[in-house]
Amino acid sequence: MQTPFPMLVGAIALIISALAWADQSAVNQRQQLFDQLDTKTELMEDALDREQWQRGAELAAELADTVTLLKTLFPETSRGVGRSRKSIWNEWPEFEGRLTRLADDFTAISNTAESGRSAGLDTALENATSSCRSCHMSYRSLW
Ligand code: HEC
């Protein structure tokens, strides 16, 4: 009689490698998006400094989308992987709330820039950029 054992082992190995892949791909994706966040925030600030309101508004809207997407890239299987501290998963509502506020700040920047109003722009910019540093201090490991 043939045993189904080798097939079972094969199936389990497949599942494990799929999980490891999912986990690694989420980590890679979130690191790429954080890099984009960095580059695009600078581009957005340059555009706004030069009073290129339309360009600044577009970049800010894209940044809001990026931050929203980031919320989906912290699966349980990637707990503590990369430079993400484990406390992110222990304090998920707090962490997610910070991302939500950052996305809202970018949306506010986009709306304000689009209407060519500079009132409120500085505050929204200040909120957005200070949230990077503050979240890193709490939730990003140093190495
Ligand atoms: C809610 C928390 C939070 C906010 C807000 C946040 N970050 Fe991060 N950031 C992280 C975490 C966590 C990592 C580590 C990701 C990993 O390696 O798993 C990270 C990583 C990064 C990295 C390194 C990516 C890499 O390849 O290792 C850059 C650059 C970065 N963030 C830029 C920014 C900028 C710019 C802002 C603000 C516009 C920002 N972040 C806002 C939590 C945050």
- pLDDT tens profile 58-106: 999 999 999 999 999 999 999 989 999 999 999 999 999 999 999 999 9
Taking the CA of residue 141 as reference, the ligand 1 atom at the shortest distance is 14
- Sign (positive or negative) of CA dihedral 44, 48, 51, 53: positive
Q: Please report the pLDDT score of residue 18 as a whole number.
A: 63
How long, in residues, is the chain?
Answer: 143
Domains of the chain (ranges, CATH numbers): 5-139 (1.20.120.10)
3-state secondary structure of 136: helix
- pLDDT tens profile 25-61: 999 999 999 999 999 999 999 999 999 999 999 999 9
Residue in 24, 33, 34, 107 to alter for ligand 1 test, most ligand atoms within 8 A of Cβ: 34
Cβ neighbours of 106 (radius 10 Å): 28
Nearest CA to ligand 1 atom 24: 31
Q: Which amino acid is at 59?
A: L
